[in-house]
Amino acid sequence: MKFRTALASATILAASMVGAASAADLTVGFSQIGSESGWRAAETTLTKQQAEQRGIDLKFADAQQKQENQIKALRSFIAQGVDAILVAPVVATGWDEVLQEARDAEIPVILLDRTVDAPEDLYMTAVTSDLVHEGKVAGQWLADTVAGKPCNVVELQGTTGSSPAIDRKKGFEEALAGKDNLKIIRSQTGDFTRTKGKEVMESFLKAEDGGKNICALYAHNDDMAVGAIQAIKEAGLKPGTDILVVSIDAVPDIFQAMAAGEANATVELTPNMAGPAFDALEAFRKDGKLPPKWIQTESKLYTQADDPAKVYEEKKGLGY
């Protein structure tokens, strides 16, 4: 039923779009949450870059963490008659009305990075990463790397109860399932911060025979890993060699550590959500091909073999 309405709405949209204009001079509105983290800033930078490369006229609105600002921005985009709207929703609920308005105006809406609790036919697609998959990629890398040798793993969790912490833990455990050589011996929260990552790692090292008992560290984000790497060094061990370090996010600082041989791998939570969104939009305008309801971004694995120094240089200008 849902699928059918979605299809119907898409047909209406398709008809209007094809008749409208060529792909070249698109105008797209982008309502961003704000700039609360380095990742968010990088997402903004990359979206602007992507739009420029494709010759898209991007109208940018910063909502400063407020949904009411986002709704205002969406209404003004609708009033301006943009060709499409990108929105990174600050909360999940309360979007039905304004999305309906966009639909009535026949403007396709693409969600970035987060999803909403609204009927699927009200938006064209959502571009997000898969948190569980990220954890799985990290776990798979570790399993492949140790290749059957016994390995004790310590885990630095994200903020207790947050969805990235839950999902990244779950994915990692799924990858390790059935591999008896890999064992998570300690798991504590590091609150996603460097300070806590360092403090908790210090206690892991003390508790596990000065670290001699630890073979690998899995951190739910790079910041905690960066803090933990310092703790490992201060304990007289070599991170990356004595203790393998794998984490998630792929922020620039972890590439520096990888270049120095102190971190082994990171799984990218790409800030380039706009690229796949624009791809889908352009494909749709060209031949009316409707994208799937969920476009999963690639959870790319980076290791020391991927020239981390170069990736660092590429990434550091993005505003992380």
Partner 1 sequence: MTSALKAYAVRLLPQAAALAVILVMVSLAFPGFFRLEMQNGRLYGSLVDILNRGAPVALLAIGMTVVIATKGIDLSVGAVMAICGAVAAACITSGHGLATTLLITLATGILCGLWNGILVAVLDIQPIIATLVLMVAGRGIAQLVTEGAILTFNDPGLIFIGSGALLGLPMPVVIWLAFGIAVALLVRRTALGMLIEALGVNRRAATLSGVSTGVLLIAAYMLSGLCAAIAGIIAAADIRGADANNAGLWLELDAILAVVVGGTSLLGGRFSIAASLIGALIIQSINTGILLSGFPPEFNLIIKAAIIVMILIIQSPRAQSAFAFLSRPRAEDGKTEQEAK
Interface residue list for partner 1 (CB under 8 A): 35-38, 40-41, 157, 160, 186-189, 191-195, 198-200, 202-204, 206-207, 223, 226-227, 230, 234-236, 253, 319-320
Q: Taking the complex as a whole, how short is the minimal distance between the CB of residue 308 and partner 1, in angstroms?
A: 16
Query: What are the backbone dihedrals phi and psi of residue 113, each rounded to the nearest 5 degrees, phi first?
Result: 75, -35
Say if residues 29 and 61 touch (Cβ distance below 8 Å). Answer: yes
Q: Taking the complex as a whole, how short is the minimal distance between the CB of residue 193 and partner 1, in angstroms?
A: 4
Here the tokens at position 93 are 């609920």
Q: Taking the complex as a whole, how short is the minimal distance between the CB of residue 231 and partner 1, in angstroms?
A: 9
For residues 120 and 242, which CB has a smaller minimum distance to partner 1 in the complex? 242
Here the tokens at position 225 are 């890993």
For residues 28 and 200, which CB has a smaller minimum distance to partner 1 in the complex? 200
Cα distance between residue 15 and residue 108, in whole Å: 12
Q: Taking the complex as a whole, how short is the minimal distance between the CB of residue 160 and partner 1, in angstroms?
A: 5
The answer for residues whose C-beta is within 8 angstroms of residue 27's C-beta and 6 or more apart is: 56, 57, 59, 80, 82, 83
Q: Taking the complex as a whole, how short is the minimal distance between the CB of residue 77 and partner 1, in angstroms?
A: 25
The answer for residues whose C-beta is within 8 angstroms of residue 3's C-beta and 6 or more apart is: none
For residues 104 and 209, which CB has a smaller minimum distance to partner 1 in the complex? 209
For residues 126 and 200, which CB has a smaller minimum distance to partner 1 in the complex? 200
Angle between helices 38-53 and 274-287 (to 10 degrees): 30
For residues 41 and 301, which CB has a smaller minimum distance to partner 1 in the complex? 41
